[in-house]
Amino acid sequence: MPNPRSHRKGKLAEKSSSFHGESSTKTATMLRRPKTDPELLSFKNLGLSASAPSLDGRPKMTKLLLNVTIQGSLGPVQVLMSPEMTVADLVSATVRQYLKEGRRPILPTADPSAFDLHYSQFSLESLNKEEKLIALGSRNFFLCPKKSDDNNDLIASSSSSSCSKEAKESAKSSSSFSWFKFIDFRI
C-alpha cells in the first residue's frame, strides 16, 4: 500500500520532472534559432511613401482623430479626418456624424454653414473656414451655431469677427453708471 513517505523516495520525482517540461532523457541537441534579417522590413528599398517614414524621421500622418464638442451636447463627437482637409470640411463632417449618431439636443439645422468652429467654448473668435486642419495646432474644438439677427433671423455673414464685435458693443452700450450698482453692495 503506497504511503506518502514512499512517494518521497524517488518514484514521484521522476514523474514530476516530466510535468514541469523536463523529460527524463535530455535532448542532446538544442534547436537552433533561425537567423533573422534586421533589414527585412526596411522602408528604404520599398517604394512606399504612405507608410514609410518621411525624410525628417517622423512618419507621415495620414489621418487625424479630432474631438468636436457641439454646444449643448454632453460629449464630443469624434471625427477622423485627413490633415489636408479644411475647417469647413471638419464642420460638415461633424454635423453629419452628429446627426448620424442621433444625439440630443437635435440641431436646429443640418446646414454646416450655419455653424462656427472655435478652439474652445471660451474663445470669442471662430476659425477661418479655409484653414487646413494640420495648421490649427489642436485636436479639440467647439462647434456652436452662428448668431442670427433678431429682426430677420438671418445668419451673420462674418461670424469670425461677430463675437468680438458683440463683446465690444456690449462694453460700449453699458454705461458707466452700471458699475455703481456693485458699489452699493460693497458698502
Residue 93's nearest CA partner among 133, 135, 33 is 133
Proportion of the chain above pLDDT 70, given as a percent: 49
The pairing of beta strand 64-70 with beta strand 77-81? antiparallel
- Tell me the C-alpha to C-alpha distance, in Å, between residue 60 and each of 23, 48, 78, 89: 52, 12, 21, 21
Task: Round to whole Å and give the CA distance between 87 and 115.
Answer: 11
The predicted pLDDT at position 27 comes to 52
Do residues 95 and 104 make contact, with C-beta atoms less than 8 angstroms apart?
no
* 170 contact partners, CB below 8 Å, separation of at least 6: none
Q: What sections of the chain are H helices per DSSP?
A: 4-6, 12-19, 87-101, 159-173, 180-186
The predicted pLDDT at position 32 comes to 72
CA 184 to chain CA centroid, Å, is 48
Residue 95's nearest CA partner among 58, 74, 68 is 68
The class level of CATH for 64-159 reads alpha beta
Q: Write the DSSP string, 92-126.
A: HHHHHHHHHHT-SSPPS---GGGEEEESSTT--SP
Do residues 118 and 127 make contact, with C-beta atoms less than 8 angstroms apart?
yes
The pairing of beta strand 140-145 with beta strand 77-81? unpaired
What is the residue extent of each domain of the chain?
A: 64-159
Q: What is the pTM of this model?
A: 0.52
Low-confidence ranges of the chain (pLDDT < 70): 1-31, 33-34, 36-56, 148-168, 170-187
pLDDT in tens, 14-34: 555 555 565 555 555 666 766
